[in-house]
Amino acid sequence: MGAAMKVTVRYFALLRERMGRASEELCWEGPDLDVARLREHLAGRAPALAALLTGRLLLVAVNRQYAAADTPLKDGDEIALFPPVSGG
């Protein structure tokens, strides 16, 4: 079981619009947190966005470095979520 921690989650583009906020602080007191577990947790809180939050096209950065699903998170980390964008 991991220790209690707090991370900042920042939402960009469509996620920011749909979540209704640019960022939030998330307190975590569960098992060790990694990028995949965070995405699953957020998808559970926002079922309408689950496909976007858990989809393979979502880019995730931890402390401004792109991160893989198994990247561990620690207290004070900043996680940025970038959904796919379209445009021309």
86 confidence band (pLDDT: 50, 70, 90): low
The tens digit of pLDDT for each residue in 25-79 reads 999 998 899 999 999 999 999 999 999 999 999 999 999 999 999 999 999 999 9
Which tokens is 24 given?
Answer: 């939030």
Residue with tokens 């496909």: 51
Given a cut of 90, whether residue 85 has pLDDT beyond it is no
Give dist(CA 72, CA 55) in Å, integer: 19
Indicate the residue type of 18: R
| Domain spans in the chain, listed from the N-terminal domain onward | 5-82
Per-residue model confidence (pLDDT) at position 1:
59
Domain 5-82 has CATH 1.20.120.530: no
- DSSP H or E stretch at residue 80: strand 78-82
Q: What is the pTM for the complete model shown?
A: 0.91
